[in-house]
Homo-oligomer: A and B are copies of this chain.
Amino acid sequence: MASDPSQLQDFCLLPSDAVLVNGFVCKPPMHVTADDFFFSGLDMPDNTSNQLGSKVTLVNVNQIAGLNTLGISLARIDYAPYGLNPPHTHPQATEILTVLEGTLYVGFVTSNTNNGNLLFTKMLKKGDVFVFPEGLIHFQFNYGPTPAVAVAALSSQNPGVITIANAVFGSNPPISDAVLAKAFQVGKDTIKYLQAQFWVANN
């Protein structure tokens, strides 16, 4: 992404036994092949039978070693009818999403401003493109009765994902209910109810 360090050689592949640096170390170039830049199967729908009715298939430096230092990655997102990719942020990447099939209601919220947190939304149909700026909370919802599919490009080789509901109400261990009750200005019973809706992230 904009803040990925730039490469100092044509490319830098992951060896099988990587030391952990900021990003990854490189495989000796003579061991590099075209397959190190390749991924297959992005045309295959993934299983969306979960509480959210959506599934994210990541194609980042963990799937394509050749992306190391190159500052970009992809994801395919499948949405069941009425499926949701819930509010989340990518702390280190901007996302540009293209709808391949179906219709999606999408939006993002700005950081705090004098006018509050502004919500920008759009109804997208096949062939529409939308941008979610780096670090802002955003979502996509399939209002329609048919499945939807989108491909998203992200401006980092390894964009983090923070699913808000999971991070706030499902962290490991949980955040103190005293903190959350005051943060959301509700009673601890409501917080415990929210924390009780256990579910896993869709990515």
The chain A residues found within 8 Å of chain B, CB to CB, are 1-12, 19-23, 25-30, 32-35, 37-44, 51-53, 59, 64, 66-74, 82, 84, 86-87, 89, 91-92, 94, 96, 98, 100, 105, 107-113, 115-122, 125-137, 139, 141, 151, 153-158, 160-176, 178-180, 182-186, 190, 193-194, 197, 199-201, 203
Query: Are A160 and B184 closer than 8 Å at their CB atoms?
Result: no
Contact of A23 among B8, B20, B94, B131 (CB under 8 A): B8
Residues in chain B near residue A169, CB distance under 8 A: 184
Contact of A21 among B21, B112, B126 (CB under 8 A): B21
Query: Are B194 and A117 closer than 8 Å at their CB atoms?
Result: no
- One complex includes copies of this chain to the number of 6
Residues in chain B near residue A116, CB distance under 8 A: 166, 170-172, 200-201
Query: Are A172 and B119 closer than 8 Å at their CB atoms?
Result: yes
A13→B34 CA distance, assembly (Å): 32
What are 27 pairs between A and B in contact, CB < 8 Å?
A3-B71, A5-B8, A10-B160, A12-B21, A19-B25, A21-B22, A30-B115, A34-B107, A37-B108, A37-B132, A39-B128, A59-B96, A66-B131, A72-B94, A72-B96, A86-B182, A86-B183, A100-B100, A105-B179, A111-B161, A117-B171, A119-B173, A135-B162, A137-B168, A139-B179, A151-B151, A185-B199
